[in-house]
Each structure stands twice: as structure tokens, then as C-alpha cells.
Amino acid sequence: MRFGPVDIQACEGLILAHSQKLGSRRIAKGSVVTAELVKAFQQQGVARLVCAAPEAGDLSEDEVAERLAAALMTKGVSCSEAATGRVNFKVGATGIIRYDRTLITALNSVDEALTFSLVQHNQLLSAGQMAATLKVIPYFVPEQICQQFEQVLEGCPAFTFHPLQSWRVCLIQTMDDVLGDRVYAATEIVTERRLAQLGCSLADRRRCAHDSTSVSAEITQALSAGADLILLCGCSAVVDRRDVLPVAVEQAGGQINQLGLAVDPGNMLLAAHIGRIPVIGMPGCARSPKLNGFDWVLHLLLAGLPLTREELAEMASGGLLMEIASRPLPRDLATKLPPASPHMGVILLAAGQSRRMGEVNKLTAEIAGKPVVRHVAEAVLAAGLTDIVVVLGHDSKAVQNCLDGLPVRFVMNADYRSGQASSVGAGVAALNSSATDVMVVLGDMPLLQPSFLKALQHHHLANSQHEKMIGLPVHIKDGKRQLGHPVVWGRQFFSELQRLKGDQGGRQIWAEHPAMISYMTVDDPTAFLDTDTADTLHQAEALLLSKNED
């Protein structure tokens, strides 16, 4: 290709290399300089233009793009018409793009005139999304360079598209006394939505005890029901091939492919199969809708690709997906300010609709001479926690009147009907910027004592890593744990609390960060009593009156 400034009278038929102003308009680069343009430029006093022209054996940028696009085409993908030396490739359905990085490097090493770029290997795309783009850099390219590019491609597809299959999926969850029903229900919802986005259905959902015999029986039933994929979600992580879930798979006649995945979050994934049916032990992070290693594995399975050791090992490149509370990224360490003095704020949740109480608002109901919510607020203040945000919603005026005269701040949650999560988010958003931690207190727990709240505060702040920790009170009896409220959150979790949806509450986050939970043992679980029903309301009043007599 010839390139450079050309006298204006010799520019006709050449390609304008750069955009050029002509009176009130601008002639775009790449335009063919016509006789009319030559005359118009001359009238404007333009003496020379920077132009490009082909030499013998050269092809224009669009000719090159069209020719190489034909060589690059693969099943399930369409390409645009060549324009300004560019062709875009788009997928026709939901699926993943795969390629050999070595081949892509070789194609882009043929000559600087040719560039071919793609999305990430194994990237999930939906119909109509772009998978790759071919761009010819100069206006003209020698044909021999095109031939070299085609020779590198010969017999080797540059990339392939793998549409996802529509599968019937069974989810089996194991239960214990720690995780509540809301966690299991939330996991079903998240899993169902995750599968629906991929064109699959959660056709079967099961719950059983956390022992290998029970899980094995459920697996066998799921196979009989025609499941294409079985997902196992244990109430505790799988830490060894001899643990409950792997043993259950083997008892059901299956084989373990791999325990552990080089993707974080998602390290604790179990890959197995029973005959042709894949079985996946979900990591705890898969209870969350956020991207994790489970998603990548799921995409491969639905695309009909085998989960070989090599395939799973390849995920390590780019497998560090996000920062987690227990291990901040280097950039966070580099920009971190000196530690602030601990300051614990309080979010008092008082927006609920008291559905189980019928027409009675449990928060405003009087017991032992005071409204329930006032008992709670006064206990918090008596514990020395003075930075209190009260989240209002249902019956807001009445609730606010119950707290008249108390030094608290109010914030209205207009979206309170969507569930507790929106109230938590509203409370976090209203915290003082100095808050390093927050205690989330339920407004229907009138038996909370200042001494208990002080102990919970001290237990949490005594940890030097308190800003990254979750403080949970727990009562242990006969080896069984009963988790209670309030819960204390370090500010590392503030953003996650604001992203919660529905009525799932913070339990979803506990499951994702078990290593960051600090338990405080409580001898008397009476303080955990919330007044959800008329019976518990009367029970709470009786206990309060008896304590007052003491």
C-alpha cells in the first residue's frame, strides 16, 4: 500500500487517510476521493491530502475482512457484512465460546495488519451477543498475508460455539439445626433462577438429613425421576472424599471425579457422576446469585463438555473472581487508611407487617406496661449503644410514637413489603460514615437485656479483625446449636447487606463466609424469643413481669 501526502490534483480515486474538514462538513476517513471532492477541496485552497492507494497484489480492507471472515466462520455463529475493514461475529443462541489460545496467538502473529479478538474462553453468551471481531488495520493488505492467515487456520477452527442444552435438574439439600428454613428456601429460589437463565428447569427439589444413607436414597429417587443433573447442597462444606456427600454418591453407584476447584469463590466444589448423569456438590457460595466457580462448571456441563481434570484445572487462569472478606485484594491493602477507632452503630428493624399476628402490630403491642419495640430500644440504649437507626415501614407513625422521646434516628423504608432485606439495606445506608460495625436488632425481641447486648458488643470488638467479622450469639444444648439475634456485622459486609433481596436476611451471607463467623456462647436462650404470635407475646410478658418482681 502506498501512503502519504498527495497533490490534490492527483487524489482522484485514492482513499482519504484521515477525516478532512470541507466547509461546514467533514469528509470521513476511508472515503474515496471523487472528482467532485477534488474540485471542492481546491476551491477551499487545499493543496494536498494524505491518501492511501493499493499496490500490485493488494486487496482492500473490506475484501480482506470478507475473505477471512468466511475462513473463520463456525457453526451457530453469524457474521456482519464487512465495513471499514471490520466483521463482527454473533452467536445465535445461549451458549459458550471456546478456542485454543495458542492458535489465536498464531493468527494474530501473522501480520500486524490483521487482528482477531474474542471474548474470554468459555464465556457464556446469549443470543445476539458478540463473540469475536475481525479488524483489518490498513486500507489495503497484500494478498499473500491473507493466504498466510488462511494457512494457519487450515483444518483448525479458530473458535467453536457450544449451545446450552435444556436439562431437568434435581436439587437435594441436607439439613441441620443451624440453618433455618429461610436459607433452604432462598437456596431453592436462587438455584431455580440460575437454571432458568440457562434454559433449564428445577424439576425436583428435595431435603433430607445430613447423613450419607439419607442422601444416597434421595439421589436414587432423583435418578428414577429422570433427572439430567443432580445438585447436592450440604448444610456444611465437603472437606474430604470420605465426607457425607461423596460417600453418598458412591453408595448410590457413582464415582468422584474431583473434590476442589481452582476458582474462588467456588473452591469447595465436588464433581462426580453416576453413569451418564453428572452430580455436583455445590460450594456454599452457590447459595448466592453472584458469579462463582459453580456457574462455570454448570456452563460446561450444559454445553455437553466433559469435566476432565485438565478442563477444571484450566479454570485457574482468571479463577480469582472477587475479593472476599477474609482476604482483601492487594489494591485494597494499598489504599487502606489507618484503622479507625471502633464505632458500633445499631439498626433497629421496625418495618415488618406482623402477618402472623393478624390485625395486631406486634411492635406496638403493650406488654409489661410498654410497647414491645420500646422495650427493645431502651435495652439497646441502656447497653451504651447510642447511635441507633430505626427503620420504619408498616404502621410507621404508630411505631415512631412508641419511641417518642428516645434519642434515636428514623429512616423510612418505602419498599418494606419486599421483605426484611430491604430494611437492612435502608438501615446500612443511613449509618454514620464513622461506623466500623453494626448490630442489627429485631424490633420484636423485648426480652433483650443490656448486659447481653454489652457482652455481644465486647465479644465482637475484642477481635482485632472485627471489621471483617460476623458476630453471632449461639446457645448449645445436647450438642445442638441454636443461633440467635442480634447479629453484629463488620463493615466489610456493609455492601453485601445492601445487596440482599427479599426476606432471606443475612443467613445467606453467613453461608458464604463461614470462616468469618465469631460465635458468642449464651447460657440462657430466653433473650432469643421474638414475639411473632399471640402466644409468644404472652410468654414474653410473663417473663418480663417475673424478672421485674425479682
pLDDT at res. 97: 97
pLDDT at res. 331: 42
CATH 3.90.1170.30 fits 58-163, yes or no: yes
Residue pair 167/85 in contact by the 8 Å Cβ criterion: no
pLDDT at res. 153: 93
The residues near 454 (Cβ < 8 Å, ≥ 6 apart) are 383, 384
User: Which residues of the chain does CATH 3.90.1170.30 include?
Assistant: 58-163
pLDDT tens figures, 69-88: 999 999 999 999 999 999 99
For 344-545, the fitting CATH number among 3.30.300.180, 3.30.56.10, 3.90.550.10, 3.40.50.12780 is 3.90.550.10
H/E stretch holding 457:
helix 450-461
User: Which residues of the chain does CATH 3.90.105 include?
Assistant: 2-53
pLDDT at res. 339: 52
pLDDT at res. 337: 43
- With vertex at residue 389, the alpha carbon angle to CA 386 and CA 390, rounded to the nearest 5 degrees, is 120
Nearest to 103 by CA among 48, 158, 171: 158
Record the pTM. 0.65
Tell me the fold of 2-53. Molybdopterin biosynthesis moea protein, domain 2 (3.90.105)
CATH of domain 168-314: 3.40.980.10
Instruction: Report the DSSP beta bridge partners of residue 348.
Output: 390, 441
pLDDT at res. 349: 92
Q: What are the angstrom distances between the C-alpha of 312 and each of 292, 301, 519?
A: 14, 12, 35
pLDDT tens figures, 373-422: 999 999 999 999 989 999 999 889 999 999 999 999 999 998 888 888 88
User: Which residues of the chain does CATH 3.40.980.10 include?
Assistant: 168-314
User: What is the C-alpha separation between 541 and 220, in angstroms, rounded?
Assistant: 50
Q: What are the angstrom distances between the C-alpha of 413 and each of 228, 272, 349, 423, 426?
A: 43, 45, 10, 6, 6
pLDDT at res. 289: 82
Stretches where the chain sits below pLDDT 70 are 322-340, 354-359, 503-505, 527, 530-533, 536, 545, 547-550
